[in-house]
Amino acid sequence: MREILIVGGGYAGFYTARGLERKLRRDKVRVTVIDPRPYMTYQPFLPEVLAGSVEARHAAVSLRRHLHRTRLISGTVTEIRDSDRSVTVRPESGPDYRLNYDILVVTAGAVTRTFPIAGLSEHAFGLKHVEEAVAIRDRLLTSFDRAATLPRGPERQKLLTVTFVGGGFSGVEGFGELLSLSSALLKHYPELDEGEVHFHLVEARDRILPEVSDRPGAWVVRSLEKRGAHVHLNAQLVSAEGGHVVLSSGEEFDSELIVWAAGNASNPIVHNHTDLPVDQRGLLVVRADLRVGTETDVVADVWAAGDDAAVPDLAAGRPGAYTVPNAQHAVRQGKRLAKNIVATLRGRPAKNYVHHSLGVVATLGLGRGIFQYRGLVIKGFPAWLMHRGYHVLAIPTWERKVRVLAVWITAALYGRDVVSLASVQHPREAFVSRGNPRHGEQTTDAPSRESVPSSPHAVVGDA
């Protein structure tokens, strides 16, 4: 029996495994997916999770529920050695061990790109996983609750100040959705007024949303500013110590909630812990048919797709172009990769991956969006409907589509759910305190988020 090993259960890994399940007999091939999380995160829905427009669990697709004939291993791949056809796995518990493979698929997924900025790791949230989106939403809701009990002053002002760093799609969509949520919250807090809430979007370049052209990007800035947001272009975060934000432009302010969405970096397992060929960006060198290697020097039985693969963009029509790391490509690359593996196992040639972009669409908050396909630009409510329509069709499985639609219909009838469940991050607090009031967020049952050291090992599973 041949062993097909898939490193990462994100978009590309999930669709590859599902395609292989449907085409290969169980007694001939065993498919194994290694990922530390038991689900695939549908990342385009994370901004709506921030706003409560999509339930957190509905933005995650269970691997075990939808991959019935795939062996799933909960763990982290820490090393890939193609020289002896093996990977090293670090499980959730127990010692590391090695797994051998006949065919390897690397869909490890990118990680959040960070810089050594004072206070960043202690106070900022990322925006790449469901858990982060839930924590950001709960932090905002809790800040409103706390601010409503305080008199006007620096502490209250800090609680009502939100900062997003990064003007790409992830940052702008999350920023717009959270801005929309804060506007909706104000009607429930008569103690607060709109002028006290401050939202800051920080971008190092002279424009946001590089995926759209200049004029639509400038329109998005104007749209956000009309809603009361502060957009800082050509500015970088210098420090965030103690929640005090210092920008390279010289501006300073206190912010209770800081979200870092300043791009992705290649996964350390690909960049530093493999003998497979990588380019200067730390991405796997991949041919157009998704095999690892070059046209003249292919690595036998090793394939890759998603954010950590430098896949040639044949649709671009120019040499040296690579597909952008987004869900649109990762999903389609996973499907093509599965078909190519099946084809080669059956003695047929693999086909090149070619996908012409369907355009880009972004949500900017409830009822607001932007869409661009070449020279066609659609703004406002129609673009927002297009965003929702496209993504409810794109999220895998009918079960998830129906659940998301049900939440949207409920919200249309009864409005947003504005309950904060921040206490679930410390579930034993009520039991341990026995009803005695405590100050602050630090609890005895679990360390605070700031005190948890980051793992030095690679984490896979987001491509």
Q: Report how far residue 245's alpha carbon sits from residue 253's, in angstroms, rounded to the nearest whole number.
A: 5
What pLDDT, on the 0 to 100 scale, is given for residue 356? 85
Structure tokens at 457: 């090992």
- CA-CA-CA-CA dihedral for 20, 26, 27, 30, to nearest 10: 60
Length of the chain: 463
Q: Tens-digit pLDDT profile for the chain (463 aa)?
A: 899 999 999 999 999 999 999 999 888 899 999 999 999 999 999 999 999 999 999 999 999 999 999 999 999 999 999 999 999 999 988 999 999 999 999 999 888 888 999 999 999 999 999 999 999 999 999 999 999 999 999 999 999 999 999 999 999 999 999 999 999 999 999 999 999 999 999 999 999 998 899 999 999 999 999 999 999 999 999 999 999 999 999 999 999 999 999 988 889 999 889 999 999 999 999 999 999 999 899 999 999 999 999 999 998 888 889 998 888 899 999 999 999 999 999 999 999 999 888 889 999 999 999 999 988 999 999 999 999 999 999 888 888 999 999 999 988 888 877 777 777 777 777 788 777 776 654 443 433 444 333 433 344 444 4
What pLDDT, on the 0 to 100 scale, is given for residue 286? 96
Torsion-angle region of residue 379: left (phi > 0), alpha (psi -120 to 50) or beta? beta
What pLDDT, on the 0 to 100 scale, is given for residue 450? 40
User: Phi and psi of 395, rounded to 5°?
Assistant: -65, 135
Residue 373, H or E segment: strand 368-373
What pLDDT, on the 0 to 100 scale, is given for residue 451? 39
Contacts of 280 (CB under 8 A, 6+ apart): none
Q: Report how far residue 6's alpha carbon sits from residue 3's, in angstroms, rounded to the nearest whole number.
A: 10
What pLDDT, on the 0 to 100 scale, is given for residue 462? 45
What pLDDT, on the 0 to 100 scale, is given for residue 70? 95
What pLDDT, on the 0 to 100 scale, is given for residue 444? 38
Rounded (5°) CA angle 177-398-461: 65
Rg (Cα) of the chain, in Å, rounded? 23
Amino acid at 217: G
What pLDDT, on the 0 to 100 scale, is given for residue 365? 94
What pLDDT, on the 0 to 100 scale, is given for residue 438? 67
Bridge partners of residue 70, in order along the sequence: 31
- Beta strands 111-112; 264-265: pairing state: antiparallel
Among candidate residues 110, 213, 217, the one with its CA nearest the CA of residue 172: 217
| Strand ranges for 366-436 from DSSP E | 368-373, 376-379
What pLDDT, on the 0 to 100 scale, is given for residue 439? 62
- DSSP label at residue 274: B
